[in-house]
Amino acid sequence: MIDARAAALFRQLAILGICLFAASTTQAQLDDSLRDIESSIIKIYTTSAAPDYFTPWRLMNPSQSSGSGSVISGRRILTNAHVVADASYVQVQKHNDAERYQARVEFISHASDLAIIVVDDETFFEDTPALEIGDLPEPNTEVFVFGFPVGGRTLSITKGILSRVEQQVYAHSGEFLLAGQIDAAINPGNSGGPVIVNGKIAGVVMQSGSGGRTEALGYFVPPDIVRHMLTDASNGQYDGFPDLGFRTQDLESPAAKAAYGLNPDQNGVLVIKVFQNSPADGILRENDVVLSIDGYNVAGDSTISLSRSLQTNYKHAIDLKQIGDEVPVQIARQGQVLDLTLTAQRRQASYSLVRGEQFDSLPEYYIYGGILFVPLNMNLIKRWGPDWTRTAPVNLLHARSQWSSPEKREVVVALQVLPADVNLGYHDVRNWIVDSVNGVPVQDFYQFTRQLKNNNEPYVVFRGESGYQMVVNHDQAVSTEAAILNQYRIPSANSDGLFDTQQLAGQP
């Protein structure tokens, strides 16, 4: 009996030993594969100076930051756009190498928060193998995040689980694009580093959970979006993501479905806006119901199924297209099913009266009669700080919810008044939206500035939506311009290129 028990115990110990050996071997192989990737991970140092949209003729103080990247095919480094946004100087450094190399931005897609940087010194790429772009892993897959987070100088590798994939608002651009969510630790400096699965890039780290409402959550740009950017970059010209020029709302109410001609078995979303001069103009109509896009059936909550385990907003089917691609759309119009085709085109400058945030460009402005006029955009609104949704002026925030049209494409703001005799009585005016000039409605900033530049009236009357007016003597405004600029140390009355011949001819 004792011998039998001893034999059984021996067998159990033998099995345990085999399992431990197998586990240690697997772990060793895993460790080796991760070590092979380390030489392809790059630290990025950026010096940037963003424009000051409160005083648009000057830059804010330069700042230094760091991020991460990975070497991909073509001797290129893949990283986030926000790592190199507004960059004036970029350096890169390899893992376990003290030398820094000067780099430059070759292509940048702020919409997808992705960028490609290159190093002209080819010796930099010695012993830095290119990583391959892989596929989006299934939920619950184990992933590894590589990067150089703050708190140390050496490479960091963290492990986590892919917990969710769906459309998210990208913090950098405000775009609503597909993103992966992981529970690996992500901190400042990790941005631009790769998410690795099976030795391939399964995503690019872009942001962590914000607002203190989540713990240990981070987001990455998935492979489909990365490939879209790389295809876009192939000709060196930025096209971005297309837009078909219509907007919808969910259609889940049985009463609403019946009212728009759907039977109980049909599902889709309701078209509530079709923009002029867009791909959908003249093809789709308001109150059409979109049943499918590019072969994906659209549910009443605006989602499509990409796989058995992945549902996301139907916008993703459009995001995957390049400019010029045809997009089949099936709709129901008053109960009749129609198969239509739209051609993906570049997005209009803005479908809202407020343009989205811009990077790597200087702001536009015009000083007339000592009054600083600017176009309203998200750069200006965000200048009120991280809590801009609460601290920015209400009238400027309200404009974000208004659609643009050929009659009114943009909002013009009297941002501040530089006190002088020519503007006496208006020195306290701030953040005031101009509705018309001498009775002519404001269409956009170029039309507004051309009207002032070419004015022949003795007085210029600016009027707001509420009826409030500012009146300026035109001759006095022209004659005192140089003195006002000199008094406030402003180099020019207008931003560079504002009054180019082409723009004055009405071709902005």
What residues are annotated to the active site? 82, 113, 191
State in Å, rounded, how far the first CA of the chain is from the last one. Answer: 96
* Cα separation, 206 vs 186, whole angstroms: 9
* Cα separation, 339 vs 128, whole angstroms: 50
Amino acid letter, residue 486: N
User: How many Cβ atoms are within 10 Å of 351's Cβ, its own excluded?
Assistant: 18
Rg (CA), the chain: 28
Q: What is the DSSP string of 78-91?
A: EE-HHHHTTEEEEE
Q: Which helix (H) or strand (E) holds 144?
A: strand 142-147
Residue keyed to tokens 């009669």: 369
Residue 487 half-sphere exposure, CB side, CA atoms within 13 Å?
A: 10
Residue 254, helix vs strand vs coil: helix
Q: What is the DSSP string of 303-344?
A: EEEEETTEEEETHHHHHTPPTT-EEEEEEEETTEEEEEEEE-
Closest CA to 144 of 77, 218, 207, 63: 218
- Over the range 84-101, which residues count as b (16 or more CB within 10 Å of their CB) and which as e? bbbbeebbbbbbeeeeeb
